[in-house]
């Protein structure tokens, strides 16, 4: 079990005011229509190519959390990722495009989540208000960087920009030395572009979970205890839910799971531990996290704040104030996550007639046999 001091706990909160943008993160940073992009690396470096990028929490998590902000009409140009890339629309309206020439489009609005397959070109444009905001989740501690579309790489050279083979942005206009051809990323040959997989609009729609698609249900063994009743809506992979009727809409491996957590006014999730690192990003409302068995350490989170909970830490999650709260939960690994609630929570649930079956799902206690395999 990992106990946190107040100092330890405070060090793991990344307030939205702590996010630091980088406007020279990628090779298209001087391209008209893309020059006003703001890239954020909140947990891990993500795919930035700039040594100017500030990373709020460099500690490895098995995934990266970042964000993008761009004025209306500004575009992040076509590029390829090697690990999972998931967009979470926090605010505004965004048009995502994909395909060898960005010929396919889908629109994401507030509360929507889009998971783009690896090894296809993708890009996006802020087609909503100027203060639009996207969070991103990327697979792995080392994402491998990105490959930009050949047209973007060729155009960037006109501005003195190149990408080295180790994914570092080279700007010859500021005095950087241009590597020879073997030391920089060349445009992808047309024959290789033609060999990239094609993803139909129908297939991509299956990788989108809109705000309206979310399937919130009571999630935990404490659901009927006083002041509890938190709900979860799965999005990607196996998350925290103990409701056996839950099914994640996006099931292919990402290296992490994503689900929405919803807390009613003044409701909470009782104390539990988890053997994996867990990140919360507050979408709306205010949330208090309390840590350790005695609940003697606490931090408060507001909209757009990000928090990283270490593995093995006892935590409770509570909605503050007179409004409900929602948060995105990202947990490392493709396996099913197994929250372990404190014994008094399990006992209180059993007193109300509920227990966890051998699969870890909530069931009527009266239906469960007392079974122990003989040694």
- Give the CA angle between residues 354, 359, 360 to the nearest 5°: 50
Q: Provide the domain limits for residue 96.
A: 16-209
Are 164 and 224 within one domain? no
Q: Which domain CATH number covers 235?
A: 2.60.120.10
**194 and 140, same structural domain?**
yes
Instruction: Assess whether 187 and 251 both reside in one domain.
Output: no
Collapsed DSSP state (helix, strand, coil) of residue 53: coil
Task: Please indicate, yes or no, whether residues 104 and 190 belong to a single structural domain of this protein.
Answer: yes
201 shares its domain with 236: no
pTM above 0.75, yes or no: yes
Could you give the maximum distance between any two Cα atoms of the chain, in Å? 74
**Residue 174, Cβ neighbours under 10 Å: how many?**
8
Q: Which of 179, 209, 239 is the endpoint of a domain? A: 209
Enter the DSSP assignment of 259: E
pLDDT mean by block of 10 residues, the chain; 375 residues:
94 98 95 95 96 96 97 97 98 97 97 98 96 96 96 94 92 90 92 96 98 98 97 98 97 97 97 98 98 96 98 98 97 97 97 96 95 64
Q: Which of 275, 361, 262 has the alpha carbon at shortest distance from 314?
A: 275
Strand partners, 58: none
Q: Which helix or strand (DSSP H or E) is residue 155 part of?
A: helix 150-157
> 164 and 47, same structural domain?
yes
Residue pointed to by tokens 């053997």: 275
Q: Read off φ and ψ for residue 367, nearest 5 degrees.
A: -90, -10
Residues 81 and 111 in one domain: yes
Amino acid 131: pLDDT: 87
Q: Please indicate, yes or no, if residue 82 is contained in any of the structural domains.
A: yes
pLDDT of residue 179: 83
Long-range contacts of 189-195 (CB under 8 A, 24+ apart): 190/150, 193/100, 193/121, 193/150, 194/100
Neighbours of 42 (CB within 10 A): 24
The H or E element that residue 147 is part of is strand 146-148
Q: Are residues 182 and 38 in the same domain?
A: yes
CB 120 within 8 A of CB 99: yes
Residue 373 has what pLDDT?
Answer: 65
> Which among 209, 226, 254 is the end of a domain?
209
Give me Rg for the CA atoms of the chain.
Answer: 22
Give the dihedral sign, CA 295/296/302/307: negative
Query: What pLDDT score does 163 carry?
Result: 93
* 374 is a domain residue: no
pLDDT for 374 equals 61
Is residue 257 domain-resident?
Answer: yes
Same domain, 54 and 193: yes
CB atoms within 10 A of CB 362: 22
Confidence (pLDDT) at 148:
96
**Structural domain contains residue 173:** yes
Q: Are 264 and 327 within one domain? A: yes
C-alpha distances in angstroms, 217 versus 56, 220, 225, 232, 272?
A: 33, 9, 15, 6, 19
């Amino acid at each position: 079990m990992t106990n946190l001091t107040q100092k330890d706990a405070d060090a793991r909160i990344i307030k939205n005011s702590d996010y630091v943008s980088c406007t020279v993160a990628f090779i298209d940073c001087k391209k008209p229509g893309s020059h006003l992009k703001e890239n954020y690396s909140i947990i891990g470096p993500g795919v930035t190519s700039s040594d100017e990028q500030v990373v709020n929490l460099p500690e490895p998590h098995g995934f990266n959390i970042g964000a993008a902000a761009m004025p209306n009409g500004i575009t992040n140009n076509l590029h390829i990722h090697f690990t999972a890339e998931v967009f979470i629309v926090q605010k505004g309206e965004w048009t995502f495009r994909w395909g060898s020439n960005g010929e396919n489009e889908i629109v994401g609005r507030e509360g929507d989540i889009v998971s783009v397959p690896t090894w296809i070109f993708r890009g996006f444009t802020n087609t909503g208000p100027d203060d639009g905001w996207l969070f991103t989740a990327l697979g792995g501690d080392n994402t491998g960087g990105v490959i930009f579309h050949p047209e973007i790489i060729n155009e960037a050279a006109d501005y003195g920009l190149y990408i080295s083979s180790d994914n570092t942005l080279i700007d010859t206009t500021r005095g950087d030395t241009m590597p020879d051809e073997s030391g920089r990323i060349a445009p992808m040959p047309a024959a290789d572009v033609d060999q990239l997989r094609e993803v139909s609009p129908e297939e991509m729609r299956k990788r989108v979970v809109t705000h309206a698609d979310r399937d919130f249900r009571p999630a935990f063994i404490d659901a009927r205890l006083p002041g509890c009743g938190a709900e979860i809506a799965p999005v990607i992979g196996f998350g925290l839910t103990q409701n056996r009727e839950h099914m994640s809409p996006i099931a292919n491996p990402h290296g992490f799971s994503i689900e929405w957590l919803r807390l009613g006014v003044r409701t909470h999730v009782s104390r539990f531990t988890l053997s994996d690192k867990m990140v919360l990003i507050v979408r709306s409302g205010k949330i208090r996290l309390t840590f350790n068995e005695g609940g003697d350490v606490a931090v408060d989170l507001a909209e757009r704040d990000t928090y990283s909970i270490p593995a093995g830490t006892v935590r409770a999650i509570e909605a503050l104030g007179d409004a409900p709260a929602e948060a995105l939960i990202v947990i490392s690994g493709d396996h099913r996550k197994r929250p372990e609630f404190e014994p008094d929570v399990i006992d209180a649930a059993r007193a109300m007639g509920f227990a966890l079956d051998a699969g870890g799902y909530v069931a009527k206690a009266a239906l469960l046999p007392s079974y122990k395999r003989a040694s």
